[in-house]
Amino acid sequence: MMIRCVKMGLILLCGLMTGACASHLGTREDFEQSMKGYNRMLRWREVENAGMVYLDPDLRDAFMKEAADIKKRGVTITDYRILTSECLPEKGSAEVIAEYDYYVLPSNQIKTLTYRQLWSYREEGEKKGWRLESGLPPFE
């Protein structure tokens, strides 16, 4: 009887551990989708939409001002690369280092900048997901 209880306990423990790992994997996959979606939106000049989708509501006003400035100045991102990406689901945080190629009209000279993005995982009621905590880079 004792061995049977121990076996059942081990099976239950393994199930719980597998479930915990699966939830972290889902969170990691969610991060990958959010990070790629955000950077893709910036690349295709959907800066305002990126802010609405991926930023915490408290940070949106400042982001939207930066987005309006970028649009007004004629900044165009021609390409981006994700240099590093570190996701820590257990801490609810992630960091991305991206590199952007861009130009500012009327010049057509391509410039490159490195952009550090800080992300956090939020669970607010039914809204769960990764939110960007950092603003836009200074396109000079």
Structural domain boundaries in the chain: 2-132
Residue predicted with more confidence, 6 or 119: 119
Confidence band, pLDDT 50/70/90 cuts, at residue 1: low
pLDDT at position 24 is 52
Asked if 131 and 122 count as a contact pair (C-beta separation under 8 A), the reply is yes
Q: Which CATH architecture has domain 2-132?
A: Roll (3.10)
Residue with tokens 């960007």: 132
Confidence band, pLDDT 50/70/90 cuts, at residue 26: low
